[in-house]
Structures are given as structure tokens and as C-alpha cells.
Amino acid sequence: MKRLLAILMLLLPLNLAAEGLDMQEYLFGHVGDSYEWHITTIGGRPLSIPLPVIVHSKTSGWHCFSSAKLEHGGSFDNFSIAPKGDKYAGKVVETLPDGSVVKPLDISVTKNVLGLLINSALLVVIVLATTGWYRKHDAREEAPGGFVGLMEMLVTMVEDDIIKDCVGKDYKRYSPYLLTAFFFIFINNLMGIVPFFPGGANITGNIAITLALAICTFLAVNLFGNKHYWKEILWPDVPIFLKAVPLMPVIEIIGMFTKPFSLMIRLFANILAGHVMILGVVAVVFLTAELGAAMNTGLSVIAVFFGVFMDCLELLVAFLQAYVFTMLSSVFIGLSRQEPASENE
Amino acid sequence: MSLITPDFGLLFWMTLIFGIVFFLLAKFGFPMITGMVDRRRERIEDSIAKAKEAEERLSSLAEEQARLIEQTRLEQSRIISEASETRDRIVARAKEEATEEAARIIDHARVEIAAERESAIRDIRRQVALLSVDVAEKIVRRELDAEAGQMELVDRLIDEASGVKPS
């Protein structure tokens, strides 16, 4: 069985070229961003939600129009989506009267933005519904059950296990941000696994999202760092020759940026890889269609089995990455608030 | 769209959306939940402490009770022993007094009896004297009737007197 599988795996790339499915477009189309939200294709007609394209051109100012106008290489007000192979492939570009192509300032509500809006609204509703319970009940007299109980358990877990332990003394100041980060990442991870409409957008696997989150942590660490933290960076407790030529300060300053950078890359890469893996496993079903019914059925069963496995793994990763991001943020914040006295202990 | 270059539009929206979400949740969401959980935790800790205190008080109360019972028992036995002592003393004194009283009464009676006897003897003596005088009178009356008798009597009286006197 294992040898058979190995042989089949070897056969797969050979078939890729012959296959009608464009693997690259399939993968990048699913994990990437797009101007419309493609839900499914029914009878050869793509069913997608058109989203607003908002661009600012240097020559003609603000434009806002439906992405449906740009479908299939269409153009609107000289705006079109740059074709494959172009420098701005997949982005909205403006063709100036002299024929040159420039990229306008683009703040379109793309698939990821809409997904972000939906997930954020969901998160706000969930959390505010949870607080609603506390408003109606006396939390000192009774404990919530059901969904509110689950939320309370998660909040308590994050606060007690991560924030309290890693940040230290005045954790209360940071816990709203860290809790928000945790639940924001968690819900976006989970919604990313859901394969149909409100979910399925690869939000936390997009580097812009993780960059914004990493910037927030960077600000939380550096804006409220204490004197000891800055002294450790600019004038660390090392022999003078390491400071005269500012070797250590330079390393420390680079370290300031590598910490959030690692946060950004870790979350982005983990979620992106998870999406690509699931998509790859699902693609097996379509890629093996040419190998005959028996082979296709057999491999499809295996692919479905692996798909279930990968989805379960992604559920774990969804939680784990939210946990890790929150924990590392807490640790960095905790380091920036360390007191010299506690270090000597 | 390239995977590893952050897209400005998305970054813009993300910053905006995350900012709003953060504001909403940090203002109305999480502090309330964590605050409530903390309050409940405090309450539970408080309750446990109170329960412990009550338990301690209860056990000390039981101790106190046992001590009180012990004390009462001691007191009781002390009172009983004291009472029996008192009783003994009272009985003893009463006995003593009774003995004294009896002795006094007996003495008194004895004195009275002696006095009675004295007076009785005196009475008898007087009666005897009167009787003797009567007898003597009768005898004398009869003797004096005869001359011989008179003489004999005189003699005998003289004898008697002389015989008695030296004795």
C-alpha cells in the first residue's frame, strides 16, 4: 500500500502539466486576496460577490466602483486588473492617457477586508453577548454555563496562563490588548478553515494582517517600556569595549525589530502553510481524475482522509498560533517592564 | 497579489478594523469579563476563608463546651462535697448541742431531785418528830398513871441522858 502510494505520488507531478487545473492559480487564488469573493462555480458560471473597488488616482482623484466591472479583464474609468506576468499582476492599475500604466492608491474592500469585517463583527457580537450575560446576572452569585461559560473559560485561561504569568505585575493594563489579539487571531484562524462563504478567506495567513498585529505588539512593548528596558538596549551591562563601538546596542536595536518580525512571519507562515496543505490534499481529488475511475476513487478516499486529518490539525494550529502570538507578545511586554531588582533574584 | 509583500489597502483596513475591534472589546468587552471573574474569585476565596473561620470557631466552641462541662462537673462535685461537709458539721454541732442540753437538763433535774429529797426528808423528819412526840406523850401519859412507872421512866430517862451524853 505504502509503495503504491509512493509510486502514485511520483506520478502526480507528471500529470500536473497535462491537467486542466492550473495548480498555481488554484492555490494562489484561494490563499491570496482578490477584488471579488468567488464562492463557487455553478454550471460553468462563477458565483461571486462583487466588492467595492476604492482607488485614488493622482490624476482623476477618488474612484469607487464594483469589482464586477473589472471581471474578465474588463476596464472601467481606465482602471483594470493587471494581467499575469505584469509587474502589478492581480492589482488594479490605471492606464494613463499616454499609455503608461501606474498603480493608484488602492484601499479597495477586497475579499480579505470583507472577511475581516465579518469576523470582527462576529467577534464583537460574541464578546459583547458574553458581557451581556454579566450585565444581567450577578457573577458573584452564579457562574455562566454553555457558550458564555466557554468564553469565560477561554478568557480566564488566556488571562491566567499567559498574561498574568508573562507580563507580570501590572498585567491588567495590557490584558485588553492581549485578549483582543488572542481572540482576533483565533476567530480569523477558525473562520479561515471554514471552507464556504463567510469563512475561507485566508486572513491571518496574509502578511498585511500579521504585520499590523506585530506593529501593535511592537508599540505595546516599546511605548511603555521602562527605564531599565531602554538602558538594557542602549547601554547594556557589558564590558565597555562592546559599547564604545556600539556593537551591543546595535544588536539590541535589531532585536527590538526582530521580535515583532518573528511574530509576523510565524503567524503568517503557519496559517498560509496550513491552507496550502489542505488545498493541496483537496487538489489530489481533481488531479487524479485522469488516472481512471479506480485510481481516482482510491486516491480521493485517501485525500478525504488526509483532508479530515489536516482540518483537525488546522483546528489545533488555529488555537496554537493564537496562543503563541499572545504568549510571545506577553513575554516581550513582560521583558520591557522588568524591574532591575527582579532580575537580580 | 504577491504573498509576502504587505498590501497597503489591506493594511489600512486591518489597522482601522483592528483599531475599532480593540476599542470596543477593550472598553466594553474583556475588562468586564475579567473583572467579573476576578470578583467571583474574590468572593469564592472570601467564602472559603469564612467557612474555614466558621469551622474553626465551631471546633473551638466544641472545645469550650467540653471545657465548660468539665468545669461544671468539678464545680458540682465541689458543691456536693461542700454540702456534705456542711451537713456533717451541722449534724455534729446539733449533736453536741443536744448533748450539752441534755447534760444541763440532767444536772438541773438532779439538783431539783436533791432539793426535793431534802425537803421530803425534812418533812419526814418533822413528821417523825411530831409522831415521836405524840408517841412519847401517849407513853408518858400511860406511864405516869402508875407510880412505879413514873419512877422507872425517870430512871430510864436519867440513864439515857447520862448514857447518851458521853457518846
Chain A contacts in chain B segment 113-142 (CB below 8 A): none
CA distance A26 to A37: 14
Q: Is A184 on the interface with B (CB under 8 A)?
A: yes
CA distance A12 to A4: 12
Q: How many CB pairs under 8 A join A and B?
A: 130
Q: How far is CA A289 from the centre of its chain?
A: 32
Strand partners, A42: A45
8 A C-beta contact, residue A217 and residue A329: yes
Residue B146 phi, psi (nearest 5) = -110, 140
Task: Give the residue-averaged pLDDT of B2-13.
Answer: 83
8 A C-beta contact, residue A192 and residue A200: yes
pLDDT at position A50: 86
- A208 contacts B7? CB cut-off 8 A: yes
pLDDT in tens, A101-152: 888 888 888 888 999 999 999 999 999 988 888 888 887 777 788 888 899 8
Q: Quote the pTM value.
A: 0.75
Does residue A11 register a pLDDT over 60?
A: no
E strand map for A67-111: 75-76, 79-81, 92-95, 101-102, 105-106
Candidates A340, A4, A329; CA nearest to A171 is: A329
- A107 contacts B13? CB cut-off 8 A: yes
Residue A87 confidence class, pLDDT cut points 50, 70, 90: confident
Q: Who contacts A204 (Cβ-Cβ below 8 Å, separation ≥6)? A: A185, A188, A189, A192, A210, A267, A268, A271, A321
Q: Is B47 on the interface with A (CB under 8 A)?
A: no
Residue A288 confidence class, pLDDT cut points 50, 70, 90: confident
Q: Which residues of A touch B50 (CB under 8 A)?
A: none
Q: Is B29 on the interface with A (CB under 8 A)?
A: yes
Q: Which residues of A touch B37 (CB under 8 A)?
A: 139, 152, 155-156, 159
Residue B121 to residues A297, B127, B128: CA-CA distances in angstroms? Answer: 163, 10, 10
- B40 contacts A124? CB cut-off 8 A: no
8 A C-beta contact, residue A221 and residue A259: yes
Strand partners, A55: A63, A106
Q: C-alpha angle A29/A30/A33, rounded to 5°? A: 70
- A120 contacts B33? CB cut-off 8 A: no
- A123 contacts B37? CB cut-off 8 A: no
Of A112, A116, A130, Cβ closest to residue B33: A130
Q: Which residues of A touch B20 (CB under 8 A)?
A: 120
pLDDT in tens, B87-139: 999 999 999 999 999 999 999 999 999 999 999 999 999 988 888 888 888 87
Q: Which residues of A touch B9 (CB under 8 A)?
A: 54, 106-108, 110, 113
Reported ipTM? 0.84
Task: Collapse the DSSP code of A45 into the 3-class scheme (helix H, G, I; strand E, B; otherwise coil) and give the result.
Answer: strand
CA distance A16 to A217: 42
8 A C-beta contact, residue A152 and residue A303: no
Portion of chain A with pLDDT greater than 70, in percent: 92
Does residue B52 register a pLDDT over 70?
A: yes
- A177 contacts B29? CB cut-off 8 A: no
Does residue B66 register a pLDDT over 80?
A: yes
Q: Is A155 on the interface with B (CB under 8 A)?
A: yes
CA distance A111 to A34: 6
Torsional class of A168: left (φ above 0), alpha (ψ -120 to 50), beta (otherwise): left
Q: Who contacts B84 (Cβ-Cβ below 8 Å, separation ≥6)? A: none
pLDDT at position A4: 55
Q: Is B23 on the interface with A (CB under 8 A)?
A: no
Task: Give the residue-averaged pLDDT of A51-62.
Answer: 85
